Amino acid sequence: MQRRKVLGLAGAGAAGAAVAGAGAIALTHREPKPDTLVSDTAGAYPFYGERQAGIITPAQDRLHFCAFDVITDDKAALVDMLQDWTAAAARMTQGRDAGTFGAVGGSMQAPPDDTGEALDLPASGLTLTIGFGPTLFRDVRGKDRFGIAAKRPAALADLPNFPRDTLDPAISGGDIAVQACAHDPQVAVHAIRNLARIGMGKVSVRWSQLGFGRTSSTSRSQVTPRNLFGFKDGTRNLKAEDTALLDEHLWVHSGDGPDWMTGGSYLVTRKVRMLIETWDRSMLAEQQTIIGRDKGEGAPLTGKLEHDEPDFKAEDGEGQPVIAVDSHLRLAHADQNNGARLLRRGYNYVDGSDGLGRLNAGLFFIGYQRDPRKQFVQIQNSLAKLDALNEYIRHTSSGLFACPPGLLAADDYWGRSLFA
């Protein structure tokens, strides 16, 4: 059952692009591509393609991220579930019900094969991106449950402990992760909920995270958003249009590791709690010094405009660096990290309050890369040791997942090349 007919591209163009600059891009393509902004927030991104959608896809506004533990030791049952998931994902990303009969089309005596809360809602730019965690290859007891330990990529090495980590194991890790991004939170939640339902008995939700307000732009068609500290975030992010940079920093090459990951990417998630109440009573000057940018424009403290190149050598009248040695901008910059760059598509989160009168809020960091050992680990080591921002943040959750390339056709399914 088609939940709701989405506007065709022509219709969308006629209706006017909701996002500045998007209409023109969308209209140059007959078919929407994963890395091209769908011109209205209702539209659908293709499920099949060389890359998984949801990586360089222009970051949607809402996130439901879910990490699952596999609770069966039966490889056939797991593979069977992944096939069911793939079929449901292919349907839901196109704005259709999760199952064949749908929320209201099946037997009156059977639970519906779709949960129904997305009835009447369009595809809303939903993307579903799957990744496989280190514990799928060898569980915490060291057991190779599915006979795939030899296929574990070296790049999927457990992340080291970083200074100041305050990770909660209950909301970290996981055997399989699914990132659901959409413009409508109900559509993202619907997708995760149905996958969890389909996976019942084979997988169990380990932890999940809702996010609102993208904190990065992954396309030049998008403006740079702000995180909950009030600063623009992701100015120097890798963008969908930077094809050569993506090739160098984002996509796994043939020969990098096992073939099943060629064309894929590695995902690191970090839940970064922000101590926003103490941040909010710090001076504007201190905030800007910590970040290394001005709060309004987002320009480096050595420049005037957001995209000006920072000048790390510039000194003030007292011979001190204008961009402080412990500023976030300096420590996170590729020049300080052997050229390491990431494609970030994180989200703000507020998980209610913490019982002490503080908002339980922060940034759910999502970073994609070709090799976490040379990229995330490098950058995070710099930040964790020195970043002045550390006074205002706590890393409470961590995840690492290998996201294979996309599926080219309906005879393929998530994990086939891994489990085959």
Partner 1 sequence: MRTARLITAGAAAALLLTACGDKKSDDAAGDGTGKIAVAASDTECKVERATSAAGTVTFTIANKGSKINEFYVYATGDRIMGEIENIAPGLTRELIVELPAGAYETACKPGMIGKGIRNAFQVTGSAAPLTEDAKLAQATADYQRYVKSQSGALIEQTTAFVAAVKAGDVEKAKTLFPIARTYWERIEPVAESFGDLDPAIDARDGDLEPGQKWTGFHKIEKDLWVTKDVSKSGPDADKLLADVQTIVNKANTVTFSPVELANGAKELLDEVASGKITGEEDRYSHTDLWDFAANLEGSQGAVQALRPALEERDPALVKTLDENFAKVEASLEKHRSGDGWKLHNQLTQAELKELSDNINALAEPISKVAAIVAKK
Q: How far apart are CA 195 and CA 99, in angstroms?
A: 11
Please give the angle made by the CA atoms of 191, 197 and 198, to the nearest 5 degrees: 90
Among 8, 201, 296, 339, binds partner 1 (CB under 8 A): 201
Figure out which of the listed residues 83, 100, 186, 204 binds partner 1, where binding follows CB under 8 A. 204
Q: What is the dihedral of CA 170, 172, 177, 180, to 10 degrees?
A: 90
> Residue type at 274?
M
Among 14, 140, 200, 408, the residue binding partner 1 under the rule CB under 8 A is 200
Task: Tell me which stretch binds partner 1 (CB under 8 A): 36-44, 107-115, 318-326, 385-393.
Answer: 107-115
Q: Give whichever of 82 and 267 is closer to partner 1, judged by the CB atom.
A: 82
For partner 1 (CB under 8 A), the number of binding residues is 10
109 touches partner 1 (CB under 8 A): yes
Q: Are 365 and 345 in contact (CB under 8 A)?
A: no
8 Å CB contact between 388 and 328: yes
DSSP letter for 151, please: G
CA-closest candidate to residue 116, choices 97, 100, 101, 94: 97
The answer to whether residue 235 forms part of the interface with partner 1 (CB under 8 A) is: no
State the minimum distance, in angstroms, from the CB of residue 56 to partner 1. Answer: 35
The residue among 106 and 230 lying less far from partner 1, judged by its C-beta, is 106
- Using the rule CB under 8 A, give the single segment among 84-92, 197-205, 282-290, 340-348 that binds partner 1: 197-205
Judged by beta carbon, residue 69 or residue 371, the one nearer partner 1 is: 69
CB of 140 to partner 1, least distance (A): 11
Closest C-alpha among 287, 303, 188, 178 to residue 230: 287
The piece of 38-46, 55-63, 102-110, 337-345 that touches partner 1 (CB under 8 A) is 102-110
Q: Which residue has the tokens 């910590």?
A: 290
Answer yes or no whether residue 105 interacts with partner 1 by CB under 8 A.
Answer: no
Considering the complex, state which of residue 201 and residue 339 has its C-beta at the smaller distance from partner 1. Answer: 201
Q: For the stretch 344-355, what's the b/e string if a residue is b when 16 or more beta carbons lie within 10 angstroms of its beta carbon?
A: bbbbbbbeeeee
C-beta of residue 44 within 8 angstroms of C-beta of residue 6: yes
CA dist., res. 251 & res. 321, Å (int): 35
Side-chain half-sphere of 140: how many Cα atoms within 13 Å? 8
Asked if 110 is part of the footprint of partner 1 (rule: CB under 8 A), the reply reads: yes
Which residue, 202 or 344, is less far from partner 1 as judged by CB? 202
Cβ closest to partner 1, residue 107 vs residue 254? 107
Q: Which of 20, 30, 107, 352: binder of partner 1 (CB under 8 A)?
A: 107
Residue 369 near residue 268, CB atoms below 8 Å: yes
Nearer to partner 1, 82 or 301 (CB): 82
Tokens matching residue 239: 């963008």
296 binds partner 1 (CB under 8 A): no
Region near partner 1 per CB under 8 A, out of 136-144, 200-208, 261-269, 384-392: 200-208
For the CB of residue 201, give the shortest distance to partner 1 in the complex, in Å: 3
Asked if residue 71 binds partner 1 (CB under 8 A), the reply is yes
d(CA 187, CA 123): 7
CB of 104 to partner 1, least distance (A): 15
Tell me which residues touch partner 1 (CB under 8 A).
71, 107, 109-111, 197, 200-202, 204
